[in-house]
Structure 1
Amino acid sequence: AHSGGDARLAELFGITDYIFVGNLNAAYNGRTLCRNNIDSIIDMSNVPGESGDINECIDASTEKKKRVLVHCRDGFSLAPTCIIQYLMVKQNMRLIAAYELLRAKYPVNIRECHQNVLVSLEKALRPGGNVDPECFKQAISRKVAWT
């Protein structure tokens, strides 16, 4: 049986005014969704690879000033990766800046396969830009103490 202490597992975090990130528990916790006025939910946990449609989904909500929760099972890698790439593509943010924005508000732990996707995207968005994948990976694999 679950105790009341499990409520913290249903946390979600605002990254911008309208974009929130969280895990599966947050997405299925009505009280958490209501408290944060979440209007739409994008479930990344069953999406194969990276999906371009995610940006249109986020835009559809944010343009109407509706709050959207992007979540995956654990909430630490795929969902943050989707939000980072959205910020890079739609808000013209640099990879490190978008990553730092998320990390400042949320305990991200981006897996190497997702890091590779983000580094490739940065190279595609900024050809000729000096993107050293190893530098980036070192920057985002620094372990952040959350205790």
Structure 2
Amino acid sequence: MAVSSPAFSKCYSMKEAEAEQGIRIHSELMVIGLNCQHLWPKSDKNLYTQYKNFTTKNAHLFSGYEKTLLKFYRSEGISSPEQRLHQVRTDFANKISKDAAVMRPDSFCAVYAPRIPKANKMDVAQIKKWAATIFPSHPVSHPICAKD
């Protein structure tokens, strides 16, 4: 007997998958900025400040990603889409925070901190391409809908 869960019954369009990955990237960069700002060279711009600049510069993109996910959650019948989005962001942040906790701070920051200045140099098309790339190590939470 097949059991269908309403919370996971739908598949993602490519736009929805990109939105989830975009929110993951944004959430991860926040954690990286907070965890690594004290290990970033003093001669360079503060890492968390760089993250905030990236967020401000691309606010319209991340707002669009949030709207896409909220619409998807509503279509799934989730009673509080905003709370679900908050939980998704928290889950992404917690995952990379666990990576930071397992690694020594200097090792974690050596690997992850360069992502912020790199992301800051990207234009919207580059960020969207990054978010639209589904890596096996970072799968989306719903299957991708089959293309007709």
TM-score category by the smaller chain?
Answer: under 0.3
Higher relative contact order (CA 8 A, sep 6+): 2
TM-score by length of 1: 0.24
Of Structure 1 and Structure 2, which has the larger fraction of its residues in helix? 2
Q: In proportion to residue count, which structure has more strand?
A: 1
| Higher Cα radius of gyration | 2
